[in-house]
Amino acid sequence: MPNSKSAYSFSNKKEKFDTHIIVVWVDNEAGVLARVVGLFSGRGYNIESLAVAQVDEKLKISRITIVTTGTPQVVNQIKLQLRKLVPVHKVADFKREDKAVIFKEMALFKIVGPNNKLEGALKACKKYNPVILDKTKQSNVIQITALRREIDKMANDLKKFGLVSVSRTGAVAMTRGADIFK
Amino acid sequence: MSKLYSGAEIVFKCMEDQNVDHIFGYPGGAVLPIYDELQNFKSIKHVLVRHEQGAGHAAEGYARSSGKPGIILVTSGPGATNVVTALTDAYMDSIPLVCISGQVPTHLIGTDAFQECDTTGITRPCTKHNWLVKDINDLAETIHKAFEVATTGRPGPVLVDIPKDIQFQKTKYNRPKKEKKLNGKSHNHFNQNSIDDFIELMSKSSKPIFYTGGGVINSGPKASELLKELVYLTGFPITSTLQGLGSFPGDDNQFLGMLGMHGTYEANNAMHDCDLMINIGARFDDRITGKIDEFSPNSKKVHIDIDPSSINKNVKVDLAIVGDVKTVLSSTLKSLKQKKSKFLKSNKQKTSKWWEKIQKWRSVRSLDYIGSEETIKPQYAIERLYELTKDKDSYITTEVGQHQMWAAQHYKFNKPNRWMTSGGLGTMGYGLPAAVGVQVAHPKKLVIDIAGEASVLMTIQEMSTAVQYNLPIKIFILNNQYMGMVRQWQELLHDKNYSESYTAALPDFVKLAEAYNCVGIRAKTPEELDDKIIEMLNTDRPVIFDCMVDKVENCFPMIPSGKPHNQMILGPKDQESKKITGKGKSLV
């Protein structure tokens, strides 16, 4: 911006964005998701996907998994800002490339068509442990669990087999091995 | 069986246990049960404002000048939305506030009931935390937790929304249990190693500078004492942000004045050229850093802050010490005295060249202005106000704009908690209600709101509050008939297109004062200024002082648009001598 007429500075730096999976343990109370999501939107952070559910009925703890992109500085801020929220207990941050962590998304595909198409669809999904949740003469509902880009690819590939509807979750994450995140 | 209390009673029981003596508020339908109980709690005084925003800023002024949280009580709907500006202001400047708002009865929530709004939804981004209390049995615990959240760690505003039916319901009341750690969020995360590293950096540095902020004030008066001790012990120069003024004596030789966009030449150049920057309780705000890429390029940076998210947010630092300023400084001083008892002696020579350089920058006298015998220069007005009040331990609030910067530049503060100004949010209309709150906290002290005529009109109704409670606040208006800072930017950055920055129909402030049943004084010439100020100081009633100043004076020095610290523009004298050709060429 050569002729800026503002007292604010303008940044034209292009920095590399990394994809991170942020896991947040929160008290399951009214408005807690709004606080977390509001923090992201208010400070201009990205949310690629979001998965949330209560994981401890007794302690009323929910686990929120957020896939986000940002510069290292932004990702660091996301963690620090989240930790400041009163209902937040702990925050974990994993890089998408991290081999020590499992990431999974689930998708439901509804296929409508003749038998050979339905079979073709099921075959195409073979790699991702497909489960048939519903079956009629003209349709199948197939469930798969996979990585985001694998599901992206399947959603595309299944079109030719008569894919009519896709429903998918955000990513959830868990560390490998016996350790848990403290 | 123990006695049952209504929700409304519990609100006051909690306040009693939190040692609340004043609340600022405005009644309305959804808080009537609470107002009904007010008379039964004699230790709590209510200050009736004229607009909920005023209650918020008054509570801020109360909190900043006393170190205690400010308490606000408002009704649902418009009561709550009116207080949003003040909550946001307090959030930006880390001021502890507890706002109690009424809400429509629980069974009406979500039905668009009369004076219903989603208060917790609206205030979520401008509070540290907020609560909607839907069960009477949670009320006491929630209010006590609200006080804890507001006052611990980095302080800030909180809000408790209480539906009207909850205010009527009854339950037992238990006094709060002693201090519980909040969700493991303890505030000191540093260890002795970082203190040792810090001392090592200080002893190696030949061009050091302390850069201190509102965190020192928030840490309590003891922190300011420790800061003074450290600065004297090291012999290093010190500069302060707008919010930090007063934590170190403004008239001390080691003090370089305020830094930042309208900071002094010496402070900004020292920040740019230093080899060690010690940030204590400041947050590298954009008005401070100027162009971030060229911010203090050759320095090691130490950052002491209670809020981990302030570290590396805008500027990457070499050593971060997360903790309360008071605790960190006291550990530092202890170690410093043990290990390097002759610190000052050994370092004096090392920093002598640095001090010479600073003296050179100082000799530029960047706060100078061209005086006048016909019109009152705004800087002159502040200088005179300072000279005539400096022995009185006065409390100064401001609005936002040129007058605020001139006050920060020319009024010298020697103690913390004496300077209340809206820095982060920049809220015009802050100063008058803040002065009300300060005067409530310090009934016998001199409280002056250094104001601009445009800002003060935003909350002028609070004069009525000041009169009602015999609060002898002094509203010292630098009246230039322009939104001065807007006009200045338009002159310097927008080709003198003075779009909508002139107020063509101002009230007669002297008559306005009389209408409010307080005292109006007007000064038109430099000659009469002193006498009029003395007249104001001798008046034991609220005063509106209409100081007619030069209409087109600009606030210098200034770091213009996206420039680093070492490219300041100085006042008109300097511009003449440098003969800048092509108007404002250096500005864009």
- Residue B348: its pLDDT value, please? 80
Widest pairwise Cα distance in chain A: 67
| Chain B residues within 8 A of A77 when measuring between CB atoms | 309, 313
Structure tokens, B535: 């007249």
Question: Is the Cβ pair B313, A77 closer than 8 Å?
Answer: yes
Interface with chain B: mutation pick from A1, A5, A13, A37, highest number of B CBs within 10 Å: A5
Query: Nearest Cα to B555, choosing from B394, B398, B360?
Result: B398
CB contact under 8 A, B132 and A3: no
Taking the CB of residue B584, how many other CB atoms lie within 10 A of it? 16
pLDDT digits (tens, 9 = 90+) for B415-463: 999 999 999 999 999 999 999 999 999 999 999 999 999 999 999 999 9
Give the residue from A80, A88, A182 with the most B CB atoms within 10 Å of its CB, the best one to mutate: A80
Residues of B recognised as catalytic: 52, 114-115, 164, 485
Q: Which of the residues B131, B561, B583, B587 would you substitute to probe the A interface, choosing the one with the greatest number of A C-beta atoms within 10 Å?
A: B561
Residue-level length of chain B: 588
Q: Is B121 on the interface with A (CB under 8 A)?
A: yes
Say whether residue B124 is in contact with chain A using an 8 A CB cutoff: yes
User: What SS3 class is residue B391?
Assistant: coil
Contacts of B305 (CB under 8 A, 6+ apart): B215, B279, B281, B282, B283, B311, B320, B321, B322
d(CA A75, nearest CA chain B) in Å: 11
Q: Measured at the alpha carbon of residue A174, what is the angle toward residues A169 and A177, in degrees to the nearest 5? A: 150
Note the pLDDT of residue A12: 67
Distance CA B29, CA B488 (A): 45
* The Cα angle at residue A7 between residues A6 and A12, in degrees rounded to 5: 70
Cα(A162)–Cα(A164) distance, integer angstroms: 6
Partners of residue A78 in chain B, C-beta under 8 Å: none
Contact A38 B124 (CB under 8 A): yes
- Predicted pLDDT at B185: 52
CA B198 from centre of chain: 28
Confidence (pLDDT) at B341: 74
- Written as one letter, the residue type at A140 is N
Query: What pLDDT does residue B580 have?
Result: 39
Contacts A30 to B, Cβ<8 Å: 132
Cβ of A38 within 8 Å of Cβ of B562? The answer is: no
Q: From CA A128, how far away is CA B165, in angstroms rounded?
A: 54
Closest partner residue to A34 among B124, B286, B313, by Cβ? B124
Chain A residues touching B261 at Cβ < 8 A = 7
By C-alpha distance, the chain B residue nearest A27 is B183
- B312 touching A, CB under 8 A? yes
Minimum distance, in Å, between the CA of residue B145 and any CA atom of chain A: 10
**In sequence order, what E strands does B137-262 have?**
157-163, 170-172, 208-212, 238-240, 255-258
Taking contacts as CB-CB distances below 8 angstroms, the residues of chain A near B149 are 86
Q: Digits of tens for pLDDT over chain B (588 positions)? A: 689 999 999 999 999 999 999 999 999 999 999 999 999 999 999 999 999 999 999 999 999 999 999 999 999 999 999 999 999 999 999 999 999 999 999 999 999 999 999 999 999 999 999 999 999 999 999 999 999 999 999 999 999 999 999 999 999 998 877 665 544 456 788 899 999 999 999 999 999 999 999 999 999 999 999 999 999 999 999 999 999 999 999 999 999 999 999 999 999 999 999 999 999 999 999 999 988 889 999 999 999 999 999 999 999 999 999 999 999 999 999 999 988 777 777 778 889 999 999 999 999 999 999 999 999 999 999 999 999 999 999 999 999 999 999 999 999 999 999 999 999 999 999 999 999 999 999 999 999 999 999 999 999 999 999 999 999 999 999 999 999 999 999 998 889 999 999 999 999 999 999 999 999 999 999 999 999 999 999 999 999 999 999 999 999 999 987 788 888 988 876 665 544 344 333 333
Task: Nearest chain A residue to B290 by CA: give it.
Answer: A9
Q: What is the distance between the terminal CA atoms of chain B, rounded to a whole angstrom?
A: 74
Cis geometry, peptide bond prior to residue B557 (ω within 30 degrees of 0): yes
B183: nearest CB among A9, A80, A89: A89
Q: Please name the residue of chain A whose CA is at the shortest distance from the CA of residue B494.
A: A5
Task: Select from A4, A73, A84 the Cβ nearest to the Cβ of B562.
Answer: A4
Smallest CA–CA distance, residue B371 to chain A, in Å, is 28
In a structure prediction context, what are the per-residue pLDDT tens digits for chain A, which is 182 residues long? 445 566 666 666 778 899 999 999 999 999 999 999 999 999 999 999 999 999 999 999 999 999 999 999 999 999 999 999 999 999 999 998 999 999 999 999 999 999 999 999 999 999 999 999 999 999 999 999 999 999 999 999 999 999 999 999 999 999 999 988 87
Predicted model pTM = 0.94
Contact A86 B489 (CB under 8 A): no
Is the Cβ pair B562, A7 closer than 8 Å?
A: yes
Identify the three-state secondary structure at position B419.
Answer: strand
Q: What angle do CA B458, B463, B467 make, to 5 degrees?
A: 170
| B493/A76 CB distance under 8 A | no
Token readout for B567 is 């490219």
State whether B562 and A6 contact (CB < 8 Å): yes
CB–CB of B452/B549 below 8 Å? no
Is B261 in the A-facing interface, judged by CB distances under 8 Å?
Answer: yes
A92: left (phi over 0), alpha (psi -120 to 50) or beta: beta
Residues of A engaging B, defined by a Cβ cutoff of 8 Å: 3-11, 13, 30-31, 34-35, 38, 42, 73, 76-77, 80-81, 83-89
